[in-house]
A and B are shown apart, each in its own frame.
Chain A
Amino acid sequence: MGQAAQWRLGRSNSTRALVLAATALLLLGLCAISVAVGTRDVGWTEIIGGLQGRAETIGQAAVAVRIPRTIMAAIAGAALGLAGAIMQGVTRNPLADPGILGVNMGASLAVVIGMAWFGLVSASASMWAAILGAGVTAVFVYVIGSLGRGGATPLKLALAGAATSVAFSSFTIAVVLPRNDIAGNVRSWTIGGVGGSTFADIRLVLPFLVLGFVLSLLSARKLNSLALGDELAAGLGERVAIARAMAALGAILLCGATTAVCGPIGFVGLVVPHLCRLLAGIDHRWLLPFSAIGGASLLILADVIGRIIARPNELDVGIVTAFVGAPFFIWIVRRQRVREL
């Protein structure tokens, strides 16, 4: 074990707490920027007015719209970052991410099918459809990716996920295109975004996310055992299958619910845990909270960039995260030895 890694493992909890507090402060700063900056330039008075709930000028109204949007970006980012960290832990795979493994696209497809074929109209029904879709897809991809020798290697999982993702994206387009009533949203079912989020959306998604957060954080210690390998974890008295199922359920709840309101957003769950491991080390009890805060920060930042870069139009946050995340994906692939792929 390298000296650096040892130092990271041995890092004291107070240092970690300090760093965590610093990242939380960073997140708060990003929230402020997200409210202040957007497609329309607004002055300080308008920002303050908007924050107080007034919507007399266009600027104040713009600020008022940005508040739920920022909150949504924060909770969606936290959910995706956390889901990514758990998926990487459960599969012991550095390339795991709800987007790359196709889970988000599966959730999206399930919602679209529910709306087009089964007449689901209520928002909570599509929430359940999304979670169901995410769960089925996760199992499907994991089974395909772990067939044959060597179990779920990064290459096999990533390929199974990418293939599933492409397949589901094709099916999603096929289901949505002929339906004029939902076809206007074909983009949001294949590329996720947080624009147009309302407080109603947040209220809808929050209970699912809270449950997902709790399950995830409860499984942190189990993930630490799983990281040692299945045999060793079992030897330590961990019930491996239950640990895996519980952690995976948490991740599925998180990314399914997020996709139901935002559409499929990729790469957040890939990038954030890797960066957070540099800060927090490999102990999941720290890595998970770090990943949640990191994911929230990243998604808010990506959303702000998307609002500025394509003025006067907006760029969906899913486009920005793919553009930032794909090079990171390539970097991880390059770092791996071929044997490990």
Chain B
Amino acid sequence: MSVSVLSHSVAAGRLLRARRRRNIILTLVLLLACGFAVTLMLGQSFTPPGDVLRVLLGQEVQGASFTIGQLRLPRAVMSILVGMSFGLGGVAFQIMLRNPLASPDIIGVSSGASAAAVFGIVVLSLDGAAVSVFAVLAGLAVAILVYGLSFKNGVAGTRLILVGIGVSAMIDSFIAYILSRAASWDLQEAMRWLTGSLNSVQLSQALPLLVSLMLFGGVLLSRGRDLDALRMGDDTAAALGIRVGMTRILVIVTAVGMIAVATAAAGPIAFVAFLSGPLAARMVGPNGSILLPAALVGAALVLIGDYIGQFALPSRYPVGVVTGALGAPYLIYLIVRVNRAGGSL
């Protein structure tokens, strides 16, 4: 086979893979759009598409303005923003640490942000953007703490995960402590800060999320190539001309930022960060970066999970319970599969 034919077939293969990845992204976007439309139209009652459109355009519609403008729209918008943040932040951690179990919700970063948010709200009486900033700082502190505690002649993935499990057990008990000091133990509030919930979210909360997605998400996506190179190992990445330390810091800051801002709004919605990456990887295969697909999968998980929690089950559940019930068996399945294959995690 001559060189030109070989390079031609490589180029063709690359094109094919890029096209396949694009098709999957398009499908996910389409799925999200459909899901968004359905959640706006169909809740406890059905609203015709025409009325939905009119409400979205700012017109007053008898009986629909409140349901859609105040209840369904904020929920749907927040679902998508929060889900994208969790999906993108989670997959960034998984790629950087080369381990699907090293997602922020398993190693305690989400719990840390949640603890800071609940501490800020209950004890320091913060609100709005201050809670988000506080949550970001705490998330970073936890990430550094877990990383530091697992450091012993370098960081081993296995040790990092176990240390993270320990740290999140501690943080969860701290959250329970704060909640028990609050005036009354409100079950709904407790659910939000322990497993995540979209109950009573408002459209005004979308702004910090949007800013964080644009800022942190934009930086992360623009550095996607560097991040993917980290997958091959630090030495290989360095040989490819990537500044490993710098990339790592950038990834930690941006991923924690997104996770923490989303957590400050909706709590640490269980396992969305953990699930999105592996699901996206399974869809895309070895056909390119999974950052954007993971963000879309995350959004779909939260949107669908919240919808199921509200309407598809005999009683209403916060979204975190639904994603938790979906994600935990997947976690067990992942462990079974890896163990049986005899590989190390």
Contacts and interface: CB of A to CB of B under 8 A. Distances in A.
Interface stretch (A39-47, A143-151, A215-223, A272-280): A143-151
Contacts of A167: 324-325, 328-329, 331-332
Contacts of B6: none
Interface in A296-341: 309-310, 313-316, 318-320, 322-323, 325-327, 329-330, 333-334, 336, 338, 341
A334 B339 contact: no
Interface string B106-122: 00000000000000000
Contacts of B161: 155, 159
B133 interface: no
A156 interface: yes
B335 A333 contact: no
Contacts of A316: 176, 180
B171 to A, nearest CB: 9
Contacts of B167: 326, 330
A173 B314 contact: no
Interface residues of B, number: 48
Interface string A171-191: 101100110000100110001
B215 interface: no
B311 interface: no
B331 A319 contact: no
Given A163-B331, A170-B321, A174-B321, A149 B156 contact: no
Contacts, number: 143
Contact of A183 (B166, B187, B325, B338): B187
A164 B332 CA distance: 7
Main secondary structure on B side of the interface with A: helix
Given A163-B328, A170-B324, A177-B321, A322 B172 contact: yes
Interface residues of A, number: 51
Interface string B311-326: 0001111000100110
Nearest to A334: B152
B328 A155 contact: no
Interface of B: 101, 149-150, 152, 156, 158-159, 161-163, 165-167, 169-170, 172-174, 176-177, 180-181, 185, 187, 190-191, 195, 270, 314-317, 321, 324-325, 328-329, 331-332, 335-336, 338-343, 345
8 contacts: A144-B335, A155-B158, A164-B332, A170-B328, A310-B181, A319-B173, A341-B158, A341-B162
